[in-house]
Amino acid sequence: MFRSRKMTTGFAMGLASLMAFGSATAFAKDTVSVGTAAPAFTLPSQDASPVSLSDYKGKWVVLYFYPKDQTSGCSKEAHNFQNDLPKYEALHAVVLGVSLDTVDSHRVWCTKDSFTFKMLADPDHKVVDAYGVPLMTHNGTSYAQRDTFLISPSGKIVKEWEVKDIDSHSADVLAAIKAGK
């Protein structure tokens, strides 16, 4: 099953902006869907400790995928999640960021920007692929598209966002948790 919604105007505009910098390609992968069990995973975090989805059974999990450490949009999105972290904790929710960057890249970025939530390294894009997050390629380097999955305390995917507005994204996720979906 292909995630057809990925071929929206917003996605096309993002692809067009990448192409303005040189050759770029984007492609969608098989995906999971709302109402299905979230694929299990274990990835290393910025402190190299393994993090598994099963570690958070009984909590809401905000699993957000982003393109690249230490870039302006990704930094803004991460700071919004960091600033709202007490609100997530009050709702028994955790925030997990995932990119194709390495543990070392995450460690540097998290230290520099004081991020306290887990950033997960997926350089082999096993989790990116499992969740069907499209990859964008620019000048031979692949990046995950900006997507977020809200996973319920029972382990089901209850909402998915193809993120277009990083300014309101954290607030949108918090509202969905409060609404119970």
Q: Which residues participate in catalysis according to the annotation?
A: 74
Partners of 96 in the β-ladder: 63, 118
Nearest by Cα to 43 from 120, 117, 128, 124? 120
CA distances from 90 to 38, 80, 104, 122, 175 (A): 23, 16, 30, 28, 13
Helix axes 103-113, 72-83, angle to 10 degrees: 60
Exposed e or buried b for every residue in 47-65, given b needs 16+ CB within 10 A? eeeebebeebeebbbbbbb
Query: What does DSSP assign to residue 119?
Result: E
